[in-house]
Amino acid sequence: MSRPTRRAQLSAITAFVFVPTSAHAYIDPGSAGFIITSVLGALAAGGYIVREYWGRLKRRIFHSDRKAVADGDGSDSMDARADDGSAQG
């Protein structure tokens, strides 16, 4: 397919989708409530996803250094105490 043909097809599809036509339809109040509930649910789900990933990012950035230091210091200090003879058992 050549480029002009693709552009013509894309233009026709865009015009078909975005050109308003008269619709003789009725939207009842229940439909509006459903739309509002769906939007609020999507916002809540998005907020939860952002909170979860932000928490994971914070833990990865701020707690990874502490864990590495604690692992290194904890094992060395226990070995040092055992070598000093302060650990009686």
For residue 78, give both structure tokens. Answer: 């226990």
Q: How many helices (H) and strands (E) does the chain have?
A: 3, 0
Query: Would the pTM of this model clear 0.75, i.e. be above it?
Result: no
Question: In the structure encoding, which two tokens stand for residue 39, read together?
Answer: 């939007």
pLDDT exceeds cutoff 80 at 51: yes
pLDDT of residue 70: 56
Alpha-carbon gap, residue 16 to 81, rounded angstroms: 80
What residues does each domain of the chain span? Answer: 37-84
More reliable by pLDDT, 18 or 70: 18
Q: Rounded to the nearest 10 degrees, what angle do helices 64-84 and 29-62 cross at? A: 40
